[in-house]
Every structure is written in C-alpha cells, then in structure tokens.
Amino acid sequence: MRLSKSWIIAAKDFKTYRKKKNIISALLVTPFLVAVLITAVISYIGTRNSARTSPAELVLLLPAFLFVYVILAAYIATPISSYTIVGEKVEKSLEPLLATPTTDSEILLGKGVAAFLPPLAVLWGGSTLFMILMDLTTESKIGYYYFPDWNTALVLLLLLPVALLMSVMVNIIISSRVTDVRTGQQLGALTIIPFAGLYLAGELNLIDLGNTSNLLIVVAVLIVVDILLFFVSRATFRREEILTKWK
Amino acid sequence: MGIETEGLTRKFGNLTAVDGLTLSVNDGEVFGFLGPNGAGKTTTVRMLCCLISKTSGEARIGDYEIGRSEDALKIRRLIGLVPDNVGLYEDLSAYDNLDFYGKLYDCAETQRKENIQRFLTLLGLWEKRDVLAGTFSKGMKQKLAIARALIHEPKLLFMDEPTANLDPESAKTVRDFILELKKEKRTIFLNTHNLDEAQRICDRIGILSTKLITTGTPQELERALSSGESTRKTVVLLQEQATDVVLAGLRQLSGNVTPEGNKLTIELKDPEKENAAVIEAITKAGGHIQSVTIAGASLEDVYLKLVRERES
C-alpha cells in the first residue's frame, strides 16, 4: 500500500469539503457550541443559591463534561465519512477513480484520513475552548485551574482519536454498502451508542472513567476494534457491486 | 498496444451480459464497438479496464492478462477511460480535476502541468481552467473527461459513448479530437450508438449483441451485406429530367426503374456488369449523364439487419 496515493485522495477530499457548506457547518458548530453551552450551564448553576455546587462536586462534573467530546467524536464525523464512498457514487466519480492504478486499501485509507483529520482538528479546537472557559469559570470555586491534567490528556490525545477513528471506519463501511448519503448518515449516527453507553456506565459508577488504567484499557480495546474495522471495510468494499448494482 | 480476447464472458446471476467475446484490436487502431442498449458494450469495457471481473474466457492488453490481480494495476496505468457518465468532481476546478488524476497516475509535476495545459488548450478549455467543473456545459464536461483520460498519455483509450447527449457542435469537436488522437497512433476502443460516427472515425467495427455478431472495416461490412442481396441499385444523375424514351429504354434492362426529378434509381442483379448497358441505353435515347453510382448497403443497413437477425 502506497501512503502517497492515499494522501492524494485525502487532499482532494479536503478541497472538495471546502465547497460543501452543509458539511463544514455540521462539523464546526457543535464542538464550539457545546463548549459555550456547558460553560453557561456551570455558570448558571453557580449563581443559584438553591443549587449551589460544591467544589468537590465540580471536580467530579468537569471530566464527565469533557467526555461529551468523546461522544461527539463518535457522531461528528458522520456527515463527512458517510459522504466518502456513497458521495463519489452519487456524483458518478467513482468509476474513473477506480480505473486509476490505486488499490482498494489506498482508496479506503485516503477516504479514512479525509474523514478523520478535519473532525479531529475541530474537536481539539472545541475541547481546548471548553477547557479554557471552564478554567476561567471554576477557578474561583475550586481554587485552581482544573484543566489540563493527565487524564484530560489521555482522553483528548488517545481516547478521542481512537473513538473518532472507529466512527469513521464504521461510517465508511456503511457508506460502501448503502446507495444514498442520507441513509449512510442515519445509520452512521448509531455509532454514538457505545460511547453514550460508556458515559452512562461511568455516571452509574459501573466503570471509573477517571481512572487512568481504565481509560487505557478502553483505548487499547478501541485500537484493536479500529484495526479490525479497517479490514472489515476492505472486505466490504466491493468495487464490482458498487459499479454494477448501484443506480 | 492491442487487445486480444478469447471467449470472454460475463454473467450477472442468470443474465449473460457478454457471451464468448473473441476479438482482436490492433495497435494504433480505432475500433468501434456498436450494439443496442444492453448489448454488453459497457460491461466489456469495464472488464477490459479491470473494473469488474470476467466470468470466463481470456483477455489480454499488451503483455498483461485481464483477471490476473498482479497485472490489474499495470493495465490501469497503461489505459485511459472515458466512462459513459463523465464523473467529474464538480466542486473542483477543471485544472484541479486533471491535477488530481495526474497525481494518481504518478505523472511528474512538470509533465502533469504540461499535459494539463496541452489538453485543456487542445479542447478549448484552457481559459476556463480555474472554473468549477460543476458549472460546465455537457459538452465541456465531456471534453474535460477526455482530457482526464489522457492526462497520463495512455497508449490505449477506452471511450464509452463519448458523444452521447451532446449537441451537434460539441459532438463534432469531440469527434475531431478523436481523429487527432488517431493521428497520434493511439489505440482507441470506442463504444458508440452512432453509426455515422463509427463510419467516419473507426478503422474497424465490431457489432455486439451479447455475442459478437461480426467485425470488419465499415466498407467490408457494407460489401458483405450488399453481396447477400438478390438485387442492387444503380443511381444515375441526368443533366435533365428523364424522358419517356429514356425510361422505356431502361425498362428493357430492368423491371424496376424509379425516376425522381433528374435522378433515376435502377434495380439490377449485377450493376458492375450491367451499368455499361444502362449508360448505352440512356445515351441512345438522347439522355445526358452527369454521374453513375452503385448504391450499396449503408452501415446502418448492416447494423439493423445483423442486430435484428440476432434478436430473432
């Protein structure tokens, strides 16, 4: 597999996305909006005497709120990654692409990179804004700047990318099996379920997501899942079927 | 770079799309592939471009074998494809579309830039190089798709109905460009419905209706059909309208003489032998001849006859 070929495909997709306003807006708005909204909620809670949150409770809430970005990672790539294969088919551009001297793996990797990097950059941008706003809002209550810490680094630098990658791979698999973008997006949105479940398990004290070892185990499991999904995506990418059966 | 196929077959479930295709396309030849909708023309091109697999049979492009996984990338590198749907990236400019494909075909930057400029200029699109492909007319998109297929200068070009749905002017531009490519000795495999186009451009023609019905030069095909008929026609143009005396003289030679202004159509068994008598009869009767031609079967006649025979 030649990585340069995959990068050419990814670079072309980056150029294409810039012209797709719906994809750009879906990508950009949510992570930054979440940062602002959660900060607003925390500030509001802090101003109400009846619901005043203790510093200890805040320290528990902050990493839980940060986990929202992991859930977002599973969701936010859907518009882009579900567009990858099915979008090419809809625009009838897949046949000339498949006629070039590129392998299925190179095409899939290129599509994966194109669907992975923009959401990752936006999620890191949104979560950085979230941490800054939270630190500014909560420093006076808990006496120090909570973010960043080692667990935060682990969540943002490891868990978030592997969760995002899983979402991208699942969406690419769906994208190469369905025939229209909307169906791809609807099915792709289901990747949010395992991460929402993980978050819920944390809130119900079934798993301690503040524990570094637990987080590393989750990351390790997701890396294995991501690798498996890449091979599944290769196996499910049937160029003949895409060319001859899709109308 | 030539193409050889032997019993090439493709089935989709119970449906046989291409049945035992055996043909040979010579290096530097423009080969026209004619056939009705669903005849298997696009399926053949897709098999030869290694886009879909064959069910059985053999096919070779140059030294490479269709169906051998290690040859697939090498074949794709050697060929260019203009598919029936142009499939451009509508959100990219004409230049960026070509640049992307040039990179995928491993064209060095200098060669890529030169080829983009050369082909866009030849096709009259250089001034529009920075315009989004999505804003182009059908004809311009088709031209851009042809430039895309040529960006790596392939020796063998597959074109799947390149003038379909184009206005006459755009179709002519595309046809003229194919003739230019012919001069460069590229092998061109042209799927078309357009008999006139096939006749004008192609060195040889194959008529397909799931099975290959026949191949030959346009002239060979016309002659083959004409020789199978019991009577043929001689068309005589006179300098004046045919007089009754002229018509009476001709009717002694043929039972079927049709006057139409100064044109006479005469059915004869063997025009090559009988035309001398026709000329003598007209001259004797005081007629003045402008021209005498033997009307053969047209490629359209050949095509319709063979396809109908196959269908029945």
Mean pLDDT for the stretch of residues A69-98: 83
Mean pLDDT for the stretch of residues B88-103: 95
Instruction: Give B194-240 pLDDT, tens digit per residue.
Output: 888 888 889 999 999 899 988 988 878 777 666 555 567 888 888 88
Among A92, A97, A99, the residue with its CB nearest the CB of B85 is A92
State the sign of the Cα–Cα–Cα–Cα dihedral A132, A134, A139, A143. negative
* Domain B230-296 class in CATH: alpha beta
Min Cα separation A110/chain B (Å): 12
Q: Is A92 on the interface with B (CB under 8 A)?
A: yes
Among A9, A93, A101, the residue with its CB nearest the CB of B88 is A93
Q: Report the CATH architecture of B3-216.
A: 3-Layer(aba) Sandwich (3.40)
pLDDT at A238: 77
pLDDT at A118: 92
Among B91, B103, B148, the residue with its CB nearest the CB of A8 is B103
Most confident of A31-45, B91-105, B273-287: B91-105
pLDDT at A48: 64
Cβ atoms B85, B94 nearer than 8 A = no
Lowest-pLDDT choice from B50-54, B157-161, B240-244, B298-302: B298-302
Min Cα separation B78/chain A (Å): 9
Q: Is B26 on the interface with A (CB under 8 A)?
A: no
Given a cut of 80, whether residue B72 has pLDDT beyond it is: yes
Whether residues B145 and A244 touch (CB distance < 8 A) is answered with no
Instruction: Give A210-228 pLDDT, tens digit per residue.
Output: 788 988 999 999 999 999 9
Name the percent of chain A lying above pLDDT 90: 29
Q: Is A22 on the interface with B (CB under 8 A)?
A: no
What ipTM was assigned to the predicted interfaces of this complex?
0.82
* Position B154 confidence tier, pLDDT thresholds 50, 70, 90: very high
Mutation target for B interface from A18, A24, A95, A237: give the one with most B CBs within 10 A: A95
| Cβ-count burial B252-270 (b if 16+ within 10 Å, e if not) | ebbeebebeeeebebbbee
Q: Is A102 on the interface with B (CB under 8 A)?
A: yes
Domains B3-216 and B230-296 share a fold: no
* Position A100 confidence tier, pLDDT thresholds 50, 70, 90: very high
Domain-wise residue ranges, chain A: 3-245
Given a cut of 90, whether residue B131 has pLDDT beyond it is: yes
State the sign of the Cα–Cα–Cα–Cα dihedral B302, B304, B310, B312. negative
Given a cut of 90, whether residue B70 has pLDDT beyond it is: no
Whether residues B92 and A91 touch (CB distance < 8 A) is answered with no
pLDDT at B231: 63
* Position A61 confidence tier, pLDDT thresholds 50, 70, 90: confident
Cβ atoms A188, A167 nearer than 8 A = yes
Whether residues A8 and B73 touch (CB distance < 8 A) is answered with no
Whether residues B87 and A103 touch (CB distance < 8 A) is answered with no
Whether residues B92 and A95 touch (CB distance < 8 A) is answered with no
pLDDT at B41: 93
Min Cα separation B296/chain A (Å): 40
Instruction: Give B18-48 pLDDT, tens digit per residue.
Output: 999 999 999 999 999 998 888 899 999 999 9
* Position A174 confidence tier, pLDDT thresholds 50, 70, 90: confident
Name the percent of chain A lying above pLDDT 70: 96
- B216, β-bridge pairs: B205
Domain-wise residue ranges, chain B: 3-216, 230-296
Whether residues A93 and B87 touch (CB distance < 8 A) is answered with yes
**Largest alpha-carbon pair distance within chain A?**
67
